[in-house]
Homo-oligomer: A and B are copies of this chain.
């Protein structure tokens, strides 16, 4: 079977670089087209301010960056968008109108009611929205969004707790890595030997997106889950890997061991289908008292960085509450990895052109 043909928008930025690396060794997707703004016309290796420790794969170093134009993606089965939010809001619809399937990492369209916001393990059924989307908008292509980097790990943990224990409220504090802010992102003078207790717009995103992802699909779009989330987002001097403490109030009494068991056993469509980027276990509960830690656990999983590491699962203030800590890799599971996994899922279901 031939490979899926992919294009990448925003290819030279920090997020784009992560896509490029993950796709460079992908078994079923061939990254054929790199698009960029200011960098169009130059070789990728010259245009990108390279931030990854591995070198640019040879076959991409000399690849010419093309202007951001749907015509340059003609014939591509999927278009990954690593565009910043503002550019995404106008550029992505142009690609979709041209008949392309766009999977976007940008926040621009995540909360629009006919745009599926997908984590393949959590809400693969939300892709069913695409029919509604095409009908309503008259689009020939499709637009699928992936969540904010802080949401992904959290929603993956909330899902099994919600299904098994009727999750009602979540009180969350995050300690987020600087790579979540892109490049140049957080100035070193602000974050070194410091904690910044605020990330603009982040808390609203986590709450709104989590409730949409855990919501149920109806005829007229997604009905957000009836879940209350209070969150405090902090930036800490860590390069990759978001840490989140969760205090969860449930609809029934449980023992912490039941929660551990529930999280360890959680599986989703990607695992059942054996998708290439699916980790064998989406959530790995660590038994050590002092894990998960971002530096040690951000690359968790049989596909490195695609599993969420959880630890410190313990009782809350009542028998109907638990506390835990989670770590997820914000630029793999929280960005490119989930988008690629979404493409694999859509391909498996025949939703991509191939």
Q: Which A residues form the contact surface with B (CB < 8 A)?
A: 14, 51, 53, 169, 171, 173, 175, 178-179, 183-198, 200, 228, 230, 232, 234, 236-239, 243, 245, 247, 289-297, 299, 311-312, 316-317, 321, 323, 325
Smallest CB-CB separation from A186: which chain B residue?
A: B188
Task: State A266–B84 Cα separation when bound (angstroms).
Answer: 45
Task: State A173–B234 Cα separation when bound (angstroms).
Answer: 11
Task: State A200–B312 Cα separation when bound (angstroms).
Answer: 12
Task: State A290–B194 Cα separation when bound (angstroms).
Answer: 12
* B198–A289 touching, CB < 8 Å: yes
* A192–B193 touching, CB < 8 Å: yes
* B290–A247 touching, CB < 8 Å: no
Are A245 and B228 CB-contacts (below 8 A) given A183-B189, A293-B196? no
Q: Could you tell me the distance in whole angstroms from the C-beta of A178 to the nearest C-beta in chain B?
A: 4
Residue of B189, B312, B321 near A178 (CB, 8 A) is B189
Task: State A197–B325 Cα separation when bound (angstroms).
Answer: 7
Residue of B171, B237, B239, B312 near A247 (CB, 8 A) is B171
Cβ–Cβ < 8 Å partners of A236 in chain B: 175, 195, 236-237
* A293–B186 touching, CB < 8 Å: no
Q: Could you tell me the distance in whole angstroms from the C-beta of A198 to the nearest C-beta in chain B?
A: 4
Task: State A12–B68 Cα separation when bound (angstroms).
Answer: 37
* A51–B189 touching, CB < 8 Å: yes
* A245–B234 touching, CB < 8 Å: yes
* A14–B189 touching, CB < 8 Å: yes
Smallest CB-CB separation from A324: which chain B residue?
A: B232
* A295–B53 touching, CB < 8 Å: yes
* B188–A293 touching, CB < 8 Å: no
Are A293 and B195 CB-contacts (below 8 A) given A189-B239, A245-B232? yes
* A325–B232 touching, CB < 8 Å: yes
Cβ–Cβ < 8 Å partners of A187 in chain B: 183-188
Task: State A299–B197 Cα separation when bound (angstroms).
Answer: 17
* B234–A237 touching, CB < 8 Å: no
Q: Could you tell me the distance in whole angstroms from the C-beta of A173 to the nearest C-beta in chain B?
A: 4
